[in-house]
């Protein structure tokens, strides 16, 4: 029992020595380098140089050539230019004067008795002033507010203005002229009222026949007509593709023209009286 205390003291001293050795700091050469570990961690995301024009963007355009249901055929080309800058990430991606090409996909002439002229068009390609080109698909979103034609946005159909009021006016004018001529003839024969009635009927018949034998108004996209093109899918460009520093100067005001014709609602179909 007298030897127990020194042995216990010796064991306790040995344990304390081992604990001290385990807490000895590592040499500087083997300490972890926090700066190096940060460098070897996840790399920061690369800055994208893509410029995207999203789906649904409206691009204002103006017609360079003219198209009419009177002369157009399926497959004919239409040519337009942009008239307002389109931006992405604060940079102009589609500047004014960019060229858009399209195609007439269907033509319907106005009928003799009923029906109006109809045009169907689609947009095919975009060419920037520096020559960068994109094939794409887009639809017609709106038509020149001055135009007499109407637009069916769902079908992309441009429809000529109806002329029912003009038809009625033509028949009325013909009946009036017939009544006047018949009244003069009836007066000479002693029956002015009967002559006027017969003349009016004959004139109205002639006017109706003229309306039935002539076509209604054609649908026209005149040079200078403005419209909005709506993208059906996004367009993406790189910084190099929208570098316009060395782009050749574009011809200005290619689309200047008379624009849409005035409304025909107050105009009758003129016929040889």
Q: Are residues 185 and 123 in the same domain?
A: no
Three-class SS of residue 102?
Answer: strand
Q: Are residues 152 and 180 in the same domain?
A: no
Over residues 94-99, mean pLDDT: 96
Written in H, E and C, the secondary structure of 3-28 is: CHHHHHHHHHHHHHHHHHHHCCCCCH
CB-based contacts of 91, cutoff 8 Å, min separation 6: 51, 242
Q: Are residues 203 and 154 in the same domain?
A: no
Distance between CA atoms of 239 and 237, rounded to whole angstroms? 7
Q: Are residues 106 and 223 in the same domain?
A: yes
Looking at the domain assignment, is residue 116 inside a domain? yes
Highest mean pLDDT (candidates 134-143, 149-158, 209-218, 256-265): 134-143
Looking at the domain assignment, is residue 18 inside a domain? no
- Per 3-state DSSP, the chain is made up of helix, strand and coil in percentages (nearest 5) of 30, 25, 45
* Residue bearing the bigger pLDDT, 150 or 112: 150
Looking at the domain assignment, is residue 248 inside a domain? no
Over residues 203-214, mean pLDDT: 45
pLDDT, mean over the chain: 72
Q: Are residues 70 and 104 in the same domain?
A: yes
Looking at the domain assignment, is residue 2 inside a domain? no
Question: Domain limits at 136?
Answer: 50-161+218-242
Looking at the domain assignment, is residue 31 inside a domain? no
Find where tokens 């042995």 sit: 7
Looking at residue 135, its pLDDT comes to 94
Looking at the domain assignment, is residue 226 inside a domain? yes
Q: Are residues 89 and 223 in the same domain?
A: yes
Looking at the domain assignment, is residue 72 inside a domain? yes
Task: Select from 39, 98, 29, 52 the least CA-distant residue to 236.
Answer: 52
Looking at residue 148, its pLDDT comes to 86
- Are 68 and 218 in contact by the 8 Å Cβ rule? The answer is yes
Q: Are residues 176 and 103 in the same domain?
A: no
Q: Are residues 132 and 204 in the same domain?
A: no
Torsion angle defined by CA atoms of residues 109, 112, 114 and 119, in that order, rounded to the nearest 10 degrees: 10
Between helix 192-213 and helix 164-189 the angle, nearest 10°, is 150
- CATH assignment of the domain containing 63: 2.40.128.260
Q: Are residues 77 and 121 in the same domain?
A: yes
Over residues 53-74, mean pLDDT: 95
- Are 168 and 221 in contact by the 8 Å Cβ rule? The answer is no
Q: Is the pLDDT of residue 3 over 80?
A: no
Which one-letter DSSP state was computed for residue 168?
A: H
Domain count within the chain = 2
Q: Are residues 100 and 78 in the same domain?
A: yes
Looking at residue 26, its pLDDT comes to 46
Q: Are residues 230 and 129 in the same domain?
A: yes
When pLDDT is cut at 50, 70 and 90, the band that residue 263 belongs to is: low
Distance between CA atoms of 30 and 221, rounded to whole angstroms? 80
Q: Are residues 69 and 123 in the same domain?
A: yes
Looking at the domain assignment, is residue 36 inside a domain? no
* Residue bearing the bigger pLDDT, 217 or 182: 217
């Amino acid at each position: 029992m007298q030897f127990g205390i020194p042995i216990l003291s010796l064991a306790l001293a040995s344990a304390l020595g081992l604990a001290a050795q385990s807490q000895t700091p590592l040499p500087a050469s083997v300490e972890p380098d926090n700066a190096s570990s940060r460098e070897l961690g996840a790399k920061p995301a690369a800055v994208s140089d893509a410029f995207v024009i999203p789906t649904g963007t409206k691009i204002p355009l103006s017609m360079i050539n003219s198209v009419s249901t009177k002369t157009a055929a399926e497959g004919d080309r239409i040519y337009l230019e942009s008239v307002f800058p389109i931006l992405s990430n604060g940079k102009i991606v589609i500047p004014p004067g960019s060229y858009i090409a399209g195609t007439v996909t269907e033509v319907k002439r106005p009928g003799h008795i009923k029906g109006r002229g109809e045009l169907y068009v689609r947009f095919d390609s975009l060419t920037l002033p520096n020559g960068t080109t994109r094939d794409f698909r887009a639809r017609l979103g709106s038509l020149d507010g001055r135009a007499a034609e109407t637009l069916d946005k769902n079908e992309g159909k441009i429809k000529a203005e109806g002329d029912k009021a003009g038809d009625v006016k033509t028949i009325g004018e013909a009946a009036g002229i017939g009544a006047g001529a018949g009244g003069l003839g009836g007066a000479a024969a002693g029956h002015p009222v009967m002559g006027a009635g017969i003349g009016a009927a004959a004139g109205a018949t002639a006017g109706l026949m003229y309306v039935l034998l002539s076509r209604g108004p054609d649908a026209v996209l005149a040079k200078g007509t403005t419209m909005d093109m709506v993208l059906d899918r996004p367009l993406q460009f790189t910084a190099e593709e929208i570098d316009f520093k060395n782009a050749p100067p574009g011809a200005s005001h290619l689309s200047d023209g008379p624009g849409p014709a005035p409304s025909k609602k107050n105009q009758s179909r003129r016929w040889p009286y």
